[in-house]
Structure formats: structure tokens, C-alpha cells
A and B are shown apart, each in its own frame.
Chain A
Amino acid sequence: QSALTQPASVSGSPGQSITISCTGTSSDVGGYNYVSWYQQHPGKAPKLMIYEVSNRPSGVSNRFSGSKSGNTASLTISGLQAEDEADYYCSSYSSTSTVVFGGGTKLTVL
């Protein structure tokens, strides 16, 4: 149950786009389309932003989008806004019938 690999931090200026990668294996990210992305502000509970690789729950801005290629999933945030500054986590279903999370990425809006 190794954690998925995410960059520790990314940054961007307001209005720009950023992409956060999430690398796993063929036993998790590469083997299933069950990949989700979560946003977590300090002291708050995580919030689902993307599910099934690229689907947005109701109420989530269309500035957030997801994709996957092979064993790597990606979250792209376009038109960066100050309120997007948060920690972001990916997660995937795994072949062992468990769930694995990424280590998290801190997004800084400059």
C-alpha cells in the first residue's frame, strides 16, 4: 500500500493555470478509473473536487479538471484564484480492495 506520488508543492499567479500530478502503478491509478481529487484548507475537512478521473461533483467550479494517462493522473486548475490556495490530495482504488492516497500537494497562489 505505497502512497501515490505527488509533488510537495506547486505555485502560480492569479489567473494562471497549474497542474498537479499523481503517479501510481498499474495496480491502482493505471488499473482503474476510480481516481479522485480532494481540496483541504487548513483546519478543515477534505472536499471532493474530482471523481472517476475527470468528473466534477455538483457545485465544483469548472476551473477544476482531471485527466489520466497510464499510471499518472492529473488535476488542472485554470484561472487561479486566491481561494484555491490549499492542500490537494489524489486517491485511487487499489487491486487489493483498498484505497490509497497521495502524499498531498500544497498549492500557493502568489
Chain B
Amino acid sequence: EVQLVESGGGLVQPGGSLRLSCAASGFTFSSSWMHWVRQAPGKGLVWVSRISSDGSSTSYAESVKGRFTISRDNAKNTLYLQMNSLRAEDTAVYYCASQMRALPFYWGQGTLVTVSS
């Protein structure tokens, strides 16, 4: 059974940093491209970032470019999202997802990030 379990969310002050993790199991993580998608409270889904299976290729939404960094450790079957210079508008549930045919497929249950003073 595919499982994606996010962790690392919490309350952080504006300008602060947070690192999210996504532990994967039940599929060949090292062969899968992965995504981060977020959803602000009561709002829609917004794509954040994507990383290739070997970590050599990454892409970001304009709204997070230069502030967020996606990475992975295939030996640990774990995906990461390093978030710096956080803003109130980054408040959201962050989901990790495996990719199928260029787009998110299996999704984790999400972790809530709240940026507030």
C-alpha cells in the first residue's frame, strides 16, 4: 500500500524557516518524481514544487521561487521542502504527492503550516 506521511508543520513567525518532510513507502520512491502542493484554509489547491527521481531537476511556482527548496534522500525514502522567509500567505496545508504522467497521483494527508506573529 502506498503511504506518504508529511511532518514538520507548525507555527512559525513571519520571516522564519521550516523544513517539511514526507516519508514514502509502498512504492519505488527512487524512481518517482515528487510534488509539493499546498492549500490555504478554505481555498483551492496550488502547486508549489516538483523534483525528478534522482533530484537533478527541480521546478517551482513563481510565488515560492528563491524562498523554498525541494530535495530528496532516496536512501531514506524521504522528500523535503525547506521553506525560508515565510510570509503570512504561505499559511496552508502542505501535501506531498507522487507523480504519474507528469502530475500528482498519490497524496499524503498533509501537514499544516501557520505563519503568524
Contact = CB atoms under 8 A, between A and B. Distances in A.
Interface in B52-75: 59-62
A51 interface: yes
Interface size class of B (residues with CB under 8 A): 20 to 34
A27 to B, nearest CB: 14
A99 B44 contact: no
Q: Is the interface of B mostly helix, strand, loop or mixed?
A: strand
Contacts of B103: 34-36, 51, 91-93, 99
Contacts of A32: 102
Interface residues of A, number: 29
Interface stretch (A9-17, A41-49, A63-71): A41-49
Secondary structure at chain A's binding surface: helix, strand, loop or mixed? strand
B44 to A, nearest CB: 4
A47 B107 contact: yes
A45 B107 contact: yes
B95 A102 contact: no
Interface string A74-105: 00000000000001010111001111111110
